Chain A
């Protein structure tokens, strides 16, 4: 079954969409990681949080719903990249792609099982799993292609 339904130029489109909307959608969380650090709730760090209190964030500017929509568009950008054809499509590239899908599925399952084993009550949002799958697939496929 041919899953690569989009032409090669869609790869560039996918990357551009991913970069733009990932910054808009995930910029706040990225920024928060630097500002708050690990112990953001500890009382001793309160003075650090207060310095940044008045900064404008993407979610305060665009609103929560639009920011969430940007995150979805970022994910769709990677999906467009994944579903785009290579410059030259042949049997070997298809084989590598299938192997990458297979390996990604196995890694995804192993990671999920390990998370479940060690942290039974861990609550993660779906985007973690979506990104894990998409990014692992892209990295594995890239490595397999570059290996030769």
Chain B
């Protein structure tokens, strides 16, 4: 699964630690999601989409 978390994070001028704190997860989690090593739970995906004010489908997509 590909995602635009890193792009959106850069757009909001946030570090991994900042984003992690705002979402209530660890910094390692954000790093793992950005590197496609971990697929977040539905709850976390929706939280992220709400935070960035985008849709979940935009933020996360299945690789063709």
Contact = CB atoms under 8 A, between A and B. Distances in A.
B31 A91 contact: no
Contacts of A145: 28
Interface in B1-47: 20, 24-26, 28-29, 31-32, 35, 37-38, 40-41, 44
The interface residues of chain A, by DSSP majority, are classed as helix
Interface string A137-148: 000000001001
B20 A92 contact: no
Contacts of B35: 148
A78 to B, nearest CB: 22
A92 B30 CA distance: 9
Contacts of A92: 25-26, 28-29, 32, 38
A91 B24 contact: no
Nearest to A86: B26
Contacts of B32: 92, 148
Interface of B: 20, 24-26, 28-29, 31-32, 35, 37-38, 40-41, 44
Interface of A: 86-88, 90-93, 95-96, 145, 148
